Amino acid sequence: MTAVDVRSLSVELGGRSILRDVSLNVPSGGWLGLIGPNGAGKTTILRAIAGLVPSHGELLIGDARGHALRPRERARLVAIVAQRPSLPAAMNVADYVLLGRSPYIRYFDTETRSDMDAAARALERLDIGEFADRALGTLSGGEQQRVVLARALAQATPVLLLDEGTAALDVGSQQHVLEIVSELRDEHGITVISAMHDLTLAAQYADEVVLVAGGRVVETGIPEVVIREDLVRSAYGAEVRITRDEDGIIVSPVRARRRSRSAT
Amino acid sequence: MAVAELRERLSAVPLRPARLRIGWLSAGVACLIVAALVGVFIGPVGINPAQALRKLVGLLPFVPDTSHLSAQHEAILMQLRLPRVVLAGIVGATLAISGAAYQGAFRNPLADPYLLGAAAGAGLGATVAIAYTPAGVGSNIVPMASFAGALLAVALAYAVGRASGPGRTATTLVLAGIAVMSFFTAVQTFLLQRRADQIREVYGWILGRLATVGWSDVFLVLPYVAVGIATIMAHRRLLDVLALGDDEAEAVGVPARRVRLIVVVAASLSTAAVVAVSGLIGFVGLIVPHVVRLVAGTSYRVILPLSLCFGAAFLILADLLGRTVISPAELPIGVITAFFGAPFFALVLRTSRKML
**Considering the entire predicted model, what is its pTM?**
0.88
pLDDT digits (tens, 9 = 90+) for B224-274: 999 999 999 999 999 999 999 989 999 999 999 899 999 999 999 999 999
Percent of chain B with pLDDT over 90: 40
CA distance from start to end of chain A? 55
- The three-state secondary structure class of A261 is helix
Between CA B50 and CA A19 the distance in angstroms is 76
What SS3 state is found at A252? strand
Position B212 scores a pLDDT of: 66
**Predicted confidence band of residue B60 (pLDDT cuts 50, 70, 90):** confident
Tally of helices (H runs) and strands (E runs) in chain A: 10, 12
The pLDDT of residue A264: 43
Tell how strand A2-13 and strand A56-61 pair up.
antiparallel
Tens of pLDDT, residue by residue over A14-45, are 889 999 999 999 999 999 999 999 989 999 99
What's the alpha-carbon Rg for chain B, to the nearest Å?
A: 22
CB A137 within 8 Å of CB A89: yes
In this predicted model, what pLDDT tens digit does every residue of B201-221 receive, in sequence order?
888 888 777 766 688 889 988
Residue A214 lies in a domain: yes
Spacing of C-alpha A18 from chain mean position? 18
Mean pLDDT computed over A152-173? 84
Let me know if residue A138 belongs to a domain. Answer: yes
Picking from A20, A61, A19, A56, the residue whose alpha carbon sits closest to that of residue A160 is A61
- Residue B140 CB-half CA count within 13 A: 5
Q: Do the domain assignments include residue A248?
A: no
Both A56 and A113 in a single domain?
no
d(CA A141, CA A84): 11
Q: What is the mean pLDDT of residues A92-114?
A: 92
Q: Is residue A258 part of a domain?
A: no
What residue segments make up the domains of chain B, in order of their start?
82-351
Of residues B19 and B229, the one with the higher pLDDT is B229
A3/A128 same-domain check:
no
Q: What is the rounded CA–CA span in Å between residue B177 and residue B153?
A: 8
Q: Which pLDDT band, with edges at 50, 70 and 90, does B200 fall under?
A: confident
Averaged over A148-166, what is the pLDDT? 90
Asked if B252's CB is within 8 angstroms of A102's CB, the reply is yes
Q: Tell me the per-residue pLDDT of B297-311, one tens digit each, with 9 for 90 and over.
A: 889 999 999 999 999
Rounded distance between C-alpha atoms, residue A248 and residue B212, angstroms: 83
Question: Measured between alpha carbons, how far is B126 from B133 in angstroms, rounded to an integer?
Answer: 11
For residue A47, the enclosing domain spans 1-77+157-228
Residues of chain A above pLDDT 70, percent = 95
pLDDT at A262: 46
In this predicted structure, the answer to whether residue B163 has a pLDDT above a threshold of 50 is: yes
CATH number assigned to the domain comprising residue A22: 3.40.50.300
- With a CB cutoff of 8 Å and minimum separation 6, the contacts of A211 are A35, A36, A217, A218, A219, A220, A226, A227, A231, A235
pLDDT range class, residue B352, cuts 50, 70, 90: low
Q: What is the dihedral of CA B283, B285, B286, B292, to 10 degrees?
A: 120
Cβ-contact A6, A58 below 8 angstroms:
yes
Work out the minimum CA distance from A44 to partner chain B, whole angstroms. Answer: 13
Residues A177 and A130 in one domain: no
Residue B12 has its nearest CB partner, among A14, A91, A121, at: A121
| Average pLDDT across chain B, whole number | 86
Domain count, chain A: 2
Average pLDDT over residues A225-252: 89
pLDDT of res. B115: 85
Task: Give the whole-number percent of chain B exceeding pLDDT 70.
Answer: 91
Of the two residues B176 and B5, the one the predictor is more confident about is B176
Q: Which residue has the higher pLDDT, B352 or B157?
A: B157
pLDDT of residue B1: 47
Q: Tens digit of pLDDT for each residue in A118-139?
A: 999 999 888 888 889 899 999 9
Instruction: Give the right CATH number for B82-351 from 3.10.400.10, 1.20.1250.20, 1.50.10.10, 1.10.3470.10.
Output: 1.10.3470.10
Nearest to A82 among B248, B255, B356 (CB): B248
A73/A161 same-domain check: yes
pLDDT value for B96: 97
Among A154, A169, A199, where does a domain finish?
Answer: A154
Average the pLDDT over B27-35 and give the result: 97
B221/B92 Cα distance (integer angstroms): 13
Residue A131 and residue A222 in one domain: no
The pLDDT score that the predictor gives to residue A21 is 95
Q: Kind and range of the H or E element at A25?
A: strand A16-27
- Residues of B at the A interface, defined by Cβ within 8 angstroms: 8-9, 11-18, 165-167, 234, 237-238, 240-241, 243-245, 247-248, 250-255, 293, 298-299, 354-356
Comparing CA positions, the residue from B230, B287, B234, B306 lying closest to residue B26 is B306
Q: Are strands A208-213 and A31-35 parallel, antiparallel or unpaired?
A: parallel
3-state SS class at A239? coil
Q: Give CA–CA dist B4/A176, Å, rounded.
A: 25
- Structural domain includes residue A219: yes
In chain B, whose CA is at the least distance from the CA of A89? Answer: B355
Do A46 and A71 share a structural domain? yes
Q: Are residues B298 and A86, on separate chains, in Cβ contact within 8 Å?
A: no
Q: Are residues A109 and A165 in the same domain?
A: no
- Residue that wins the pLDDT comparison between A113 and B328: A113
Decide if pLDDT at B333 tops 80.
Answer: yes
Distance CA B322, CA B330 (A): 6
Instruction: Please indicate, yes or no, whether residues A8 and A72 belong to a single structural domain of this protein.
Output: yes
Pair (A190, A131) in one structural domain: no
Whether residue B251 and residue A79 make contact (CB cut-off 8 A), yes or no, is yes
Of B13, B238, B254, the CB nearest to A120: B13
- Choose among B9, B238, B248: nearest Cβ to A85: B248
The residues pairing with A56 across neighbouring beta strands, listed in sequence order, are A10
Domain-embedded: residue A130: yes
* In contact, B318 and B340? CB cutoff 8 Å: yes
- Average pLDDT rounded to a whole number, residues A212-225: 94
- Taking residues A228-246, report their average pLDDT: 89
Which of A127, A154, A181 represents a domain boundary (last residue)? A154
What pLDDT is recorded for position B168? Answer: 58
Lowest average pLDDT, out of A194-208, B66-80, B153-167, B272-286, goes to B153-167
pLDDT tens, position by position, A50-83:
999 999 999 999 999 999 999 999 999 999 999 8
Q: Is residue A111 part of a domain?
A: yes
What is the tens place of the pLDDT at every residue in B114-157? 888 888 999 899 888 888 887 766 667 888 888 999 999 999 99
To the nearest whole Å, the CA of B154 is away from the closest chain A CA by 25
A68 and A134: one domain? no
Q: Which residues of B touch A108 (CB under 8 A)?
A: 234
